[in-house]
Amino acid sequence: MQPTEEQAPSSKRAPLSFWVRIAISAVLLAVLASNVPDLDGILPARHHTRTVALLLLAIVTTFVGVVLSAWRWQRVLAVFDAPVGLRTLTSHYLAGLFVGNVLPSTIGGDVLRVARCSTSTGSAETGFASVVLERLTGFVALPVLVLTGFLVRPSLLDADRSWLALVIAGVTLGTLSVVLFLAGHPSIAGRYHGSESWTRFIGAVHKGVDNMRRRPRLSLGVLATALVYQASVVLSVALLFRTLDLPVPLAGVVAFVPAVAMMQVLPLSISGLGVREGMLVLFLHPFGVSNGQAIAVGLLWYASTLVVSMIGAPAFAVGHRSSTRVR
């Protein structure tokens, strides 16, 4: 049975968890803001043209990162022998970002990506498993970047609370190892391969993990594209640091930004609001960055993603109209 396009989510009543996450974001931001004595010194007092140029460059880099993430997704689909064009996947990714970050909906952008990839590949199982594995690759690349930052500049270990970044990286890798073990074990996830019920999606993830184990060249390609994509995220945030003239070394950005990225995906708040800014306050304080400046970086990080997500509006609208005509 062919998968159908998702319905517009705004017509569905938001569950309690949605409002709880909004409340958590509001409380976290309010607590952080209460520790900002004034707004003076947050924005650079001079070089306004350079400030705007760096901010625009950060947004462009964020958009390039979307293309790179679509490339990573394409490499994952190659593991399933499901070729899909990069332009198509970029459109799907932008549409997913629009739903996840712009629309007042309770479904994530990944749900939309699964639906559209299922249509592109002709397989709901492949669409689901490719999005799951594409997400999981990030939890390999991000800890690697954290370790790289500390290896390049070991003196970062002397900074207060720097150990927390290493703990986050270690817990992430440990959790990922358990997930991949369960997904790749023939007697656990593997027993659902070929199932006819909803468990067939678990079997599809097992198939992808098994294929990656059997085809190391493809696996290396997936991991390489994941590293390139996550490096682009670090670069975009590094540009935001320079936008505000923050005295944080590049190695520090490489070490701490991925740790923040890992924390902000926890389903605690809306789009990581509050969590992201709080982690930046913790990590940047030893470098002489004020609470207000750290919060500003987090909000600019979110704003850059939001601006790029809005580019996905046409991709979302066109895909939705096309699916409606098919029905």
Q: Is pLDDT at 3 greater than 50 in this prediction?
A: no
Q: What is the pLDDT at residue 315? A: 86
Q: What is the pLDDT at residue 63? A: 97
Q: Could you tell me if 319 and 5 are in contact, meaning their C-beta atoms sit under 8 angstroms apart?
A: yes
> Tens of pLDDT along 71-114?
999 999 999 999 999 999 999 999 999 988 887 554 578 899 99
> Tens of pLDDT along 38-58?
666 677 766 678 888 999 999
Q: Cα-flanking dihedrals φ and ψ of residue 102, to 5°? A: -110, -50
Average pLDDT for the chain:
87
Q: What angle do CA 18, 61, 309 make, to 5 degrees?
A: 30
> Tens of pLDDT along 207-243?
999 999 999 999 999 999 999 999 999 999 999 999 9
Q: What is the pLDDT at residue 122? A: 93
Q: What is the pLDDT at residue 109? A: 85
> Tens of pLDDT along 9-43?
444 555 777 778 888 888 888 888 877 766 666 77
Q: What is the pLDDT at residue 40? A: 61
Of residues 140 and 8, the one with the higher pLDDT is 140
Q: Is pLDDT at 324 greater than 70 in this prediction?
A: no
Of residues 28 and 319, the one with the higher pLDDT is 28
Q: What is the pLDDT at residue 287? A: 92
Q: What is the pLDDT at residue 104? A: 56
Q: 3-state SS string over the chain? A: CCCCCCCCHHHCCCCHHHHHHHHHHHHHHHHHHHCCCCCCCCCCCCCHHHHHHHHHHHHHHHHHHHHHHHHHHHHHHHHCCCCCCHHHHHHHHHHHHHHHHCCCCCCCHHHHHHHHHHHHHCCHHHHHHHHHHHHHHHHHHHHHHHHHHHHHCHHHHHCCCCHHHHHHHHHHHHHHHHHHHHHHCCCCCHHHCCCCCCCHHHHHHHHHHHHHHHCHHHHHHHHHHHHHHHHHHHHHHHHHHHHCCCCCCHHHHHHHHHHHHHHHCCCCCHHHCCHHHHHHHHHHHHHCCCHHHHHHHHHHHHHHHHHHHHCCHHHHHHHHHHHHHHC
Q: What is the pLDDT at residue 259? A: 96
Instruction: Provide the percentage of residues in the chain whose pLDDT is more than 70.
Output: 89
Q: For tokens 């997936």, name the residue.
A: 222
Q: What is the pLDDT at residue 272? A: 85
Q: What is the pLDDT at residue 6? A: 47
Q: How confident is the model at residue 257 (pLDDT cuts 50, 70, 90)?
A: very high
Query: Letter for the amino acid at 150?
Result: F
Query: Letter for the amino acid at 181?
Result: F
Q: What is the pLDDT at residue 325? A: 38
